[in-house]
Structure 1
């Protein structure tokens, strides 16, 4: 069943989905598949797989200058998605992003996915390079998620990006997108950011998954404003349990979200990462229960570095 349909049916039953990260180049898939096996015991609605097209590294040249080069550290999103689908028989949803890809690259990704029978996509712009002040689109690529959606919809309608008809169009792709309850870091304000989400819906996005957040009031307020603006697609809360003392400063800086003061005070009392992990499980479990009490039955977990915690949380919620 398509992810969009699974999300729509969650109005009547509680379900979970998980995001996983492809392994670093050369490290193999043994640990990833062991983690996915644990997650699949929880009967997820679907698993999505992140994409990291490239990162910039600086190599010193013989003359002492430094040359910036683009390196792919986590290849294999499509291959990992196909392996998960085949091995675990669970719906998969790979990320397709603008960053690091030309329009032609994306077209070939769509063809490969269609050949594999994978038709659920999460479309994203992707992160800017760490050293760049603003996002730099790849030459011949897209600058915005809305452009990427247009390309996928054109493919769905039976045309390649250059306008050439596709002789044998396959099954249409379903489209999910991201949204940001505390606004995207580059948006001037939340209102403008939500207008971008409305555009994504108008172009054909069928649901949105939020960036992680730790205060449910941020999510509730975001959804309320979205509905007032005419955004009607499901907005799935994205959750990641707190797990380490260092995350008190790292999480707000990396994910551009607030740590609520009640949680921050409890973190200050923790003496070790084990204490922080136990606190994260307790906080996230109660966070999810509050979402349930507000009629939210579909919860998406970011599992990177937190598979054990996520498993414990879901088991508590199922008990």
Structure 2
């Protein structure tokens, strides 16, 4: 058995990107930066930092992104939503990102103020939908703009076709890349990609990958977001609630299987939802052939 196999169809390494969330306390701060330093040597194309509901993490997101720019060689993408904020308030955030050196924004509508499952009410003086936000971002600066995509449709969308209509509006407004909601059945992603391409949408659609750190939590979040959880996946984790060591091994195997299949079928870019936990993501990247590069700090130390 080989230590890893980048692909059955070639030796090209996949490009990866990672999502982090801003820390709420000192302990989480330490954990975040341990994870960032662990994954930075893998040379991600970019890393993204989430933005809490209603701008609740605005300052923490900004500080995290600014520190990444100042202290690492990473290219951070700052998340931005338009929930519970006027256009003027959102525009101020966009300008502050530009002033900090950020050149990539992940533009999202954001969850309803009442949480998932409640009705979305746009701010009366705000951007009403993501395509409006994308237009606003591109009007202010020459940002890369990444948006979301939903292989199993957004929970609020009337149909998958209607959801692809929404993606088309975001692309027409200036989006340059999309990242999908996580999924576990790769056929779902490829069927979606075929539909998207048939509509003339040609931007990169990166598959969003979530290593299963905690099956119960992942399944619960999947139910809220409309992502299906196959029975075979539940079977893999059954009986491991009190066996974290075996659970981690199973999680690595499951995610590596998914990622290798995506690569074998032609995918060259992968986006990992890290949950600020690096070890499992690092192991999976190693299995598909990604080896560490020198970090900015290591390069300086070597000079």
TM-score range relative to shorter protein: 0.7 to 0.9
Paired residue secondary structure (2:126): coil
1:199: which partner in 2? 169
TM-aligned CA deviation for residue 217 of structure 1: 0.9
1:6: which partner in 2? none
CA contact (8 A) 1:179 1:211 kept: yes
Choose the corresponding residue for 1:215, options 169, 172, 185. Answer: 185
Q: TM-score, normalised by structure 2?
A: 0.85
* Consecutive unaligned residues in structure 2, runs of 5 or more: 1-11, 291-303
Choose the corresponding residue for 2:88, options 104, 107, 127. Answer: 104
Paired residue secondary structure (2:238): helix
1:17: which partner in 2? 17
Q: List structure 1 segments (4+ residues) > 6 angstroms apart after TM superposition.
A: none
Q: How does 1:240-319 map to 2 (within 5 A)?
A: 240-247=210-217, 249-272=219-242, 274=244, 275-304=246-275, 306-318=277-289
Matched, 1:51 2:51: yes
Task: Count matched residues.
Answer: 277
Choose the corresponding residue for 1:144, options 111, 115, 129. Answer: 129
Question: Compared with structure 1, are the counterparts of its residues 25 and 270 closer, same or farther at alpha carbon in structure 2 (3 Å cutoff)?
Answer: closer
Question: Compared with structure 1, are the counterparts of its residues 13 and 266 closer, same or farther at alpha carbon in structure 2 (3 Å cutoff)?
Answer: closer
Choose the corresponding residue for 1:114, options 92, 98, 103. Answer: 98
Between the two structures, name the one with larger relative contact order (CA 8 Å, sep ≥ 6).
2
Q: Which has the higher helix share?
A: 2
Paired residue secondary structure (1:141): coil
Separation in 1 of the partners of 2:27 and 2:240?
33
Separation in 1 of the partners of 2:27 and 2:38?
20
Choose the corresponding residue for 1:86, options 70, 86, 104. Answer: 70
* Consecutive unaligned residues in structure 1, runs of 5 or more: 1-11, 56-71, 157-171
CA contact (8 A) 2:131 2:169 kept: yes
TM-aligned CA deviation for residue 253 of structure 1: 2.1
Matched, 1:153 2:124: no
1:39: which partner in 2? 39
TM-aligned CA deviation for residue 87 of structure 1: 0.8
RMSD of aligned Cα (Å) = 2.1
CA contact (8 A) 1:20 1:303 kept: yes
CA contact (8 A) 1:241 1:310 kept: yes
